[in-house]
Structure 1
Amino acid sequence: MYKKNYKGRCEKKSLSKCDTICRCYSTIQSVYADKLETDPSVQSFQCNTPLEDEDYTTDFLITRQDGTQYVRECVERSHLTRPKPLTIKLLDTSRSYWLAHNVQDWGIVTDAES
Structure 2
Amino acid sequence: MNVTYEYYKDSFGGSLIPENRWISLELKMSARLNQYTFDRMKEDNWPEQAKTALCEMCDCAYKYERRDGKTSENNDGYSVSYDMNKTLNVMLYEIAEVYLINTGLLSLAVDDDVNECNDNCL
TM over 0.5: no
Structure of greater relative contact order (alpha carbons < 8 Å, 6+ residues apart): 2
Bigger-Rg structure (1/2)? 2
Please state which structure has a larger fraction of its residues in helix: 2
Structure 1 length normalisation: TM-score?
0.30
Structure 2 length normalisation: TM-score?
0.28
Please state which structure has a larger fraction of its residues in strand: 1
